[in-house]
Structure 1
């Protein structure tokens, strides 16, 4: 196939030498494709230096839209995790729960966050991030509605767990999506934007929940979450687009195979997995998080620190409302604004992320520049 005629139906197939890539995972992909580009004209990859279908080359406004939708979708689960805290005494009485059970109804929400991403993250790399995100958020909406009609403590606890299992897709996919669309030097600002909207849910939830617990039934807490989630789900389906590069390239290769009848068009990812069956690829993807947790000490340490931190956080969230109403004789409505301190601390801590990421990115760039071979000396 001639080198100057490697486009079919306007879809570019040519692979050119990419410039220096500061992203480790992207550098590996570029290195692999560059090695075989001369001997394999049917290998599908993004055109360098700019390809409109590459999420990292999208217009800035489109990247912001994806980030905003992801933040708004993440706002709901965080708000749902804390909104029922002021109503725990009411729920305890109505559903005949003891103190341990009512705290479990609140904190079991967090337990699902530990298990959901183990399956959701790998599945998104096989069945598209967009599809998994839509399905999981619809799953969260359904089980949150079940909480509205829960008339037993067992049903409420189970529905809370299953609702967060779907909602954990935001935690599982947010880092991947932001990494898909933003370059390393831009990720600090995008991460700050993503977290700013999302972390407000930790404070907004109990404030809204406090007024609802005092003025109406606690079931309206879940009604309000469901209504907001339904609106965000519609916006997500309208705005969010696939961001995972291997999936986009596979779609391009499949289109070329259908339109030309030439079955040789493949991506580098398909070439790597071509000899493996679908169950093998799926099993490898699903077990990867557990293998990394078992074999990498740094991941184990991070896991323990995060588990301890989130345990303390939910202990505070569960006891805050009863502390201010029981020990300080404040009303349920006034107990809610105390959660603003928690959100302020989170936002202050997360605000350091952009500067830290920018600093490390600059340091990595300087290190790469200092170790790069000098063309004049070769």
Structure 2
């Protein structure tokens, strides 16, 4: 029975990067192991379960904003002499073990990547696809409540703020595959339920549940890609996968506009259910588990049964009970959001800009119908500018943002705040786009002018959203996933609730001054990245934030 170790010794940077992609903190095990804080003297390193628990508890008291410079740490799961001598540690059988997802064939790997990317495209698309059909929904359910009109669209995003907090720890316990299958199946069921809803309450409840389980591929997708694709080839896969949450919400209403005219608003949901059903069948047949901790745990159980050796233990076994997994997933992000200046300020910036996206989603149909007399499927084209701008923004960030940071990494003088330079530029595009869109629609200029304005808004959104997220990863390193979770919860809550008053705002202020108000708020946020570029390092050095 050979349990040989892989020759590559993972660095802390690789483990942190990998864990962030998987959606959990780096003190929990992944394919590359995990980071645990231990006494610097190897002779005093604890081995008993009780001592290990004490070590993990002490690690929780670490300053989370100084995550990049731990006082003393070691990498759990790395190839060390102790592990090599222990015959009870179960690992992959060498670097070419076919059980290791990294060793799967090209077709199997990229087939999974494409399938996951397709699912990740569908669920965000469903968030806004029926937006052009909102007036029909209101008419069918006999409602004239402006607040409900917006909430029907944004309640889906409210589900995004709760689902990931549950899905992430469950995937640590049971693996990614059961969560993919169960969430995909529930998504289909809730989508069908929304399609056959007979009243507003039923419709809104099932829209919320759609969002709750629909967030699964966005929680699990990055980790699955990290499981399968080596770091040097991961950029392409990540770019394809990220198009789902970026472009999906903008493409959805374009399809939905024409589908609503042809078949009615309910067919937006039937369409999503049919496509999701096809993806579910394909994934059930083709997808396999990719989480190394889960694969090794299954291997360990099998070997225990075959050999009768109950001392066998997976190399990536965290030893964390269910209670601790949920604690990491739910409590830690809440603490980071309320106690960390950097996490709160950056998350607030992202939340407000993300909220603007859903204010536009919930009002585009009414604006272009009233101002430009667009009807039927044509109203869906009002979302085109936002989609094109978002796509351009994504590629601009990937090219210029990564190139700038790479120069500093090569020089050896990289600091997390250097991620924010491109955010400083992107921040100005939001108010400019909002002013162009608002006043051009107000004065009913040619429709291309407000579409241009929304394109600039989309560009600005991506140029602020993406560097902000990567900055959080660089600042919080080991606890990057918790910072991202805090960010996700705040932005999802705001994007679900703030747009409820958007119709009343435009009714009171008009399109020109209403969007000017949004522009002024976004302009007030512009100094945040400038301040962190200047004072961020000092804030992190003086931080006393504890988990």
TM-score by length of 2: 0.60
Is 1:52 paired with 2:98? yes
Of residues 74-83 and 50-59 in structure 1, the stretch that sits farther from structure 2 once superposed is 50-59
Secondary structure of the structure 2 residue equivalent to 1:23: helix
- Among 2, 6, 14, which residue is 1:23 paired with? 14
* CA contact 1:63–1:182 (8 Å) conserved in 2: yes
TM-score by length of 1: 0.84
Relative distance call for 1:278 and 1:125 in structure 2 (3 A) is: closer
RMSD (Å), alpha carbons: 2.7
Q: Provide the C-alpha distance between the structure 2 equivalents of 1:244 and 1:300, rounded to a whole number of angstroms.
A: 31
Relative distance call for 1:297 and 1:141 in structure 2 (3 A) is: farther
Question: Which residue of the partner structure matches residue 42 of structure 1?
Answer: 88
- Among 201, 206, 216, which residue is 2:263 paired with? 216
Is 1:336 paired with 2:327? no
Residue ranges of structure 2 left out of the alignment (5+ in a row): 17-31, 36-73, 414-547
Q: Provide the C-alpha distance between the structure 1 equivalents of 2:325 and 2:127, rounded to a whole number of angstroms.
A: 34
Relative distance call for 1:326 and 1:58 in structure 2 (3 A) is: same
Shift of 1:72: 1.1
Question: Which residue of the partner structure matches residue 326 of structure 1?
Answer: 370
Is 1:138 paired with 2:175? no
Q: Provide the C-alpha distance between the structure 2 equivalents of 1:162 and 1:239, rounded to a whole number of angstroms.
A: 26
Secondary structure of the structure 1 residue equivalent to 2:204: helix
Question: Which residue of the partner structure matches residue 394 of structure 2?
Answer: 350
Shift of 1:63: 2.6
- Among 102, 108, 113, which residue is 2:155 paired with? 108
Residues 113-148 of structure 1: CA distance to partner in whole angstroms, max 9, x if unpaired?
Answer: 111111111211111111011111111111111111
Is 1:248 paired with 2:295? yes
Secondary structure of the structure 1 residue equivalent to 2:298: helix
Q: Provide the C-alpha distance between the structure 2 equivalents of 1:71 and 1:160, rounded to a whole number of angstroms.
A: 22
* CA contact 2:4–2:94 (8 Å) conserved in 1: no
Question: Which residue of the partner structure matches residue 310 of structure 2?
Answer: 263
Relative distance call for 1:131 and 1:295 in structure 2 (3 A) is: farther
Question: Which residue of the partner structure matches residue 69 of structure 1?
Answer: 115
Shift of 1:223: 1.0
Question: Which residue of the partner structure matches residue 126 of structure 2?
Answer: 80
Shift of 1:293: 3.7
Secondary structure of the structure 2 residue equivalent to 1:38: helix
- Among 276, 280, 283, which residue is 1:233 paired with? 280
Question: Which residue of the partner structure matches residue 93 of structure 1?
Answer: 139
Query: How many residues of Structure 1 are paired with residues of Structure 2 in the alignment?
Result: 355
* CA contact 2:194–2:207 (8 Å) conserved in 1: yes
Residue ranges of structure 1 left out of the alignment (5+ in a row): 1-5, 8-12, 369-378
Q: Provide the C-alpha distance between the structure 2 equivalents of 1:192 and 1:300, rounded to a whole number of angstroms.
A: 27
Relative distance call for 1:211 and 1:139 in structure 2 (3 A) is: same
